[in-house]
Structure 1
Amino acid sequence: MDHRTVVTAVAAAAILLAAGCTDQKAGGTPSPAPQPSASPSVPATQKPPFAGAPKVTNPLPSSVLSGSPCEALTPQQVQVNIGVSVAGKPDNLPGIGPQCTWTNKQTSAQMGVSFTTEPGDGLSGDYANTRPKMPVWKELPPIQGLPAVVYSDNSKPNPDFCAVAIGITDALSVDVTVALSLQKSGKVDACTVVPLTANDVVTTLKQKAGS
């Protein structure tokens, strides 16, 4: 399994962890990420926010997640983030929501956006299920007023892969993932790069909301 396949699978696994799922696959590729328990860590009937997740005090309309995640970044934003304007590859994680991945085949840089619309736990699912499994977990300053956390399954200096989860409402969230190019591998910390991509995603979603 090559580097890009691994990070794509890890990205999907982190989202599945947030939803408390264990038996899903990303593109048919088993995830190398740590596996959670078979059940969610919190009762399915518990209303978000819970597990220490912050309340989304300035939520966006849920309609901003009604389209494809491939629309969450403009062609210009894609080019800035991975060095080339390329169409996103849409996919869907059953029980989680839609996702989109962009890949620069020349440099192997990759980024992804996932709309976590199910099961309706928002950031609380990340706090309850992803946080205990990730060696890197840090709350970020709000991204344009929305609460966010950055996380990675790799705690080594300058990890190649990192993700940000953003609370859109108390019940909905967006995950943004970045995998560095091979040229930047080990030289740049992906956890300092992905918040910039996440900010671009929020900008696009706010424009969609008309705010």
Structure 2
Amino acid sequence: MNRRVAASVALVGVLLIGGCSSHSVTPPVATGAGSGAASVSTGSSARLVPTVSSPLPVAVISKHPCDSALTDAQVKDLLGEISPRFHTDNQAGLLCQWQKQSTGATVAIGWLTGLKDGLNQVYANQKDDAYFQPSEIEGFPALVYDITDRKPDTNCAISIGIADKVAIDVGFTVGTNRSGKQNPCDAAKVIAGMVLDNLKAAAR
């Protein structure tokens, strides 16, 4: 089956990484299931994640991720072309996707403004995911996760706390031409590093 990332609303919450569908030149649409998630349910009162030691100002995510998360050159490096970008905003926040139409390889980035407790809320809501791996990206606390796969091989998402109450999300879906050859979580970490570098530059 061909695969596509979609910003989806499912029973488990608001998804950044979506399910399976055929390739299309139209913007991704909502589906009923997904592999990664950023839920908008009530956050945990307990502190589950480390404090962000060098937080970024919230102003760095004032522009839509379609306009500020990645440069065209970075998108071309990641997907091999400057792919169309789609605004896929939902309850989780401001979301953007870039998709290579020929293979379905997709980059998805979101400013999770709908999560009032930031990364702590993601931890609380995704604790039962099949893949749940606390991490750190460029000094920021992060969570690498996937709802359904214990060893993600197609989709992977990373939520990053850029401040104690502010999180962003990065997702990647492997294209059909690289199925079984590319680790989606490794790719998502590279993308997350690019996004963080751009946000740090915006904060200067």
Q: Normalising to structure 1: TM-score of the pair?
A: 0.79
Return the alpha-carbon distance in structure 2 between the equivalents of residues 15 and 60 of structure 1. 26
Q: Secondary structure at the match of 2:6?
A: helix
In structure 1, runs of 5+ residues without a counterpart are 19-25
Q: Deviations over 1:14-71 (max 9, x none)?
A: 87379xxxxxxx8332234599x996363xxx4xxx3521211110000011100112
Q: Secondary structure at the match of 2:200?
A: helix
Share of identical aligned residues, percent?
Answer: 31
Query: 1:204 and 2:198 equivalent?
Result: yes
Confirm or deny: 8 A CA contact 1:158 1:187 kept in the other structure. no
Aligned residue pairs, count: 192
Return the alpha-carbon distance in structure 1 between the equivalents of residues 182 and 13 of structure 2. 24
Q: 2:142 aligns with which of 124, 129, 148?
A: 148
Matches within 5 A, 1:1-211: 2-4=2-4, 7-9=5-7, 16=14, 27-32=29-34, 40=42, 42=44, 46=45, 50-70=46-66, 71-94=68-91, 96-132=92-128, 134-140=129-135, 142-155=136-149, 157=151, 159-210=153-204
Return the alpha-carbon distance in structure 1 between the equivalents of residues 97 and 73 of structure 2. 15
Q: Deviations over 1:106-135 (max 9, x none)?
A: 221101001001231110111100122x11
Return the alpha-carbon distance in structure 1 between the equivalents of residues 149 and 162 of structure 2. 27
Taking a change above 3 Å as real, the CA distance of residues 145 and 34 of structure 1, as seen in their structure-2 partners, is closer
RMSD of aligned Cα (Å): 3.0
Bigger strand share: 2
Q: Secondary structure at the match of 2:32?
A: coil
Taking a change above 3 Å as real, the CA distance of residues 11 and 196 of structure 1, as seen in their structure-2 partners, is farther
Residue identity opposite 2:141 in structure 1? P
Q: Secondary structure at the match of 1:76?
A: helix
Q: Secondary structure at the match of 2:97?
A: strand
Confirm or deny: 8 A CA contact 1:121 1:170 kept in the other structure. yes
Return the alpha-carbon distance in structure 2 between the equivalents of residues 209 and 74 of structure 1. 16
Bigger helix share: 1
Confirm or deny: 8 A CA contact 1:14 1:130 kept in the other structure. no
Q: Deviations over 1:126-152 (max 9, x none)?
A: 1100122x1111122x32221112111
Q: Secondary structure at the match of 1:86?
A: coil
Confirm or deny: 8 A CA contact 2:144 2:185 kept in the other structure. yes
In structure 2, runs of 5+ residues without a counterpart are 17-27
Residue identity opposite 2:137 in structure 1? I
CA apart distance, 1:157: 4.6
Q: Normalising to structure 2: TM-score of the pair?
A: 0.81
Return the alpha-carbon distance in structure 2 between the equivalents of residues 188 and 145 of structure 1. 25
Confirm or deny: 8 A CA contact 2:7 2:88 kept in the other structure. no
Return the alpha-carbon distance in structure 1 between the equivalents of residues 40 and 202 of structure 2. 37
